[in-house]
Amino acid sequence: MANASIKIDTRAIQKQLSDMAKQIPFATATALNSIAFDVMRKENDSMAEIFDNPRPFTQRATQVEKKASKTDLTAVVSLRPAQERYLLPYEEGGQHATSGNAGKLLVPVDGPVDRYGQIPKGMIARLMQRPDVFAGTIKGIEGIWQRPASGNQRNGGKGVKGRLSTLGTKKTGLRLLYAWRENKSVNKSLGFVDRARKIIEASSPQALQAAIQKAIRTAR
């Protein structure tokens, strides 16, 4: 039988494979960023399931701190610093984050609160500028107090409305707006890392497939 020699020109295929190899970092970075933003959205959504009526500020706590690139295949998802300060105990355990007054918690009693049941930002500073409001300890209760309104305040003043405080069986004539309470350990779990791990495991295959398909289209 006569010998035959057949040559196949693979230069076009080699070029396509080379082009695809160049697209792999791009595809990887695209997939990582897609997964990172998926984690961010779902971590933020979970805040409403963990906490009762959380503020929008808390529901925007998670961020994509760093996106991946072709030269740095690392994406970072984290809590924003301002929210991390009070959310970290829910992830790592321990007591509620506090500020001032030797680690005690200032809690509403009969003072103004926002629609989330929390002390509005700047409220204490504004109240403390009033002549009828003071910080002190009355009958062993430490807090922010309001003195009884004068006759003029009752008739035309803009005093904060509310009931007067009763300590034991004796009325003080003072209104307890906010009280300092001893700190205690948090009773909820954020589960940030565990949730992120589950999201990554569930979304990675689809994100990688979508990124590869995009890379193939781009390489043509």
Residue 150 counted as domain residue: yes
Residues 6+ apart with CB under 8 A from 61: 43, 44, 47, 79, 80, 83, 84, 87
Weakest-pLDDT range from 72-76, 132-136, 150-154, 178-182: 150-154
Tens of pLDDT along 21-39? Answer: 677 888 888 889 999 999 9
Q: How many CB atoms lie within 10 A of CB 201?
A: 9
Of 211 and 4, which is predicted with more confidence?
Answer: 211
Residues 6+ apart with CB under 8 A from 69: 29
Residue 46 counted as domain residue: yes
Full residue range of the structural domain in which residue 154 is found: 101-181
Quote the pLDDT of residue 98: 76
Residue 68 counted as domain residue: yes
| Pair (84, 193) in one structural domain | yes
- Residue that the structure tokens 């809690």 belong to: 107
Weakest-pLDDT range from 10-19, 139-148, 163-172, 205-214: 163-172
Residue 6 counted as domain residue: no
Residues 6+ apart with CB under 8 A from 144: 106, 111, 124, 127, 128, 133, 134, 135, 176, 177, 178, 179
| Pair (91, 113) in one structural domain | no
| Pair (111, 140) in one structural domain | yes
Residue 213 counted as domain residue: yes
Quote the pLDDT of residue 175: 93
| Pair (166, 112) in one structural domain | yes
Whether pLDDT at 138 is above 50:
yes
| Pair (24, 131) in one structural domain | no
| Pair (111, 170) in one structural domain | yes
| Pair (85, 26) in one structural domain | yes
| Pair (58, 26) in one structural domain | yes
* Residue 170 confidence class, pLDDT cut points 50, 70, 90: very low
Quote the pLDDT of residue 124: 92
Whether pLDDT at 44 is above 90:
yes
pTM for the model stands at 0.73
Residue 49 counted as domain residue: yes
Q: Kindly report the average pLDDT of the chain as a whole number.
A: 82
Quote the pLDDT of residue 77: 95
Whether pLDDT at 9 is above 70:
no
Residue 4 counted as domain residue: no
| Pair (118, 147) in one structural domain | yes
| Pair (158, 199) in one structural domain | no
| Pair (123, 22) in one structural domain | no
> How many structural domains comprise the chain?
2
Q: How many CB atoms lie within 10 A of CB 8?
A: 6
| Pair (192, 169) in one structural domain | no
